[in-house]
Amino acid sequence: MTRMVIVAALALASCSKSESPKSEHIATTVVNKDPAAARKLIAAGATVLDVRTPEEFADGHLPSATNLPVEDVAQRIAEVDKLVGGDKTKPVVVYCSKGGRAAKAKQALEASGYTNVVNGGGFGDLR
């Protein structure tokens, strides 16, 4: 009987919520940047969002860019709406330093109904 209790306790302990980091689900963002398409859209007048920090933006940015840090995108969709004149089909180019934050911003914009968002990659890709 004691053996059965010990076996049951060990089995239950192995089912606890504390799993090893290897088995945890880690969300990833697919970058899929397209600087060439972004440059064409910018030349044609697309709305450009620099999703880096204000400090990074102050160190240099594209002349037509509006600074909207990636962590603020979802809360500031109304500002983006104004930039595109309320038309969520107008092209929007997002960029950061390498493309990762821009990918997250692109996802947030698409989740808000934007249909023509391009990840331009990094600032260096678009200069």
Q: What distance lies between CA 3 and its chain's CA centroid?
A: 52
Give the pair of three-digit tokens for residue 31. 């970058």
* Residue tagged active-site, from 96, 108, 109, 118: 96
Let me know: does 84 contact 107? Beta carbons within 8 Å.
Answer: no
For this structure, is 15 an active site residue?
no
Let me know: does 73 contact 98? Beta carbons within 8 Å.
Answer: no
Identify the sign of the CA torsion 123, 44, 116, 64.
Answer: positive
Helical residues (DSSP H) of the chain, grouped into ranges: 2-13, 35-43, 54-58, 77-83, 100-111, 123-126
Output Rg (C-alpha) for the chain, integer angstroms. Answer: 22
Catalytic (active-site) positions: 96
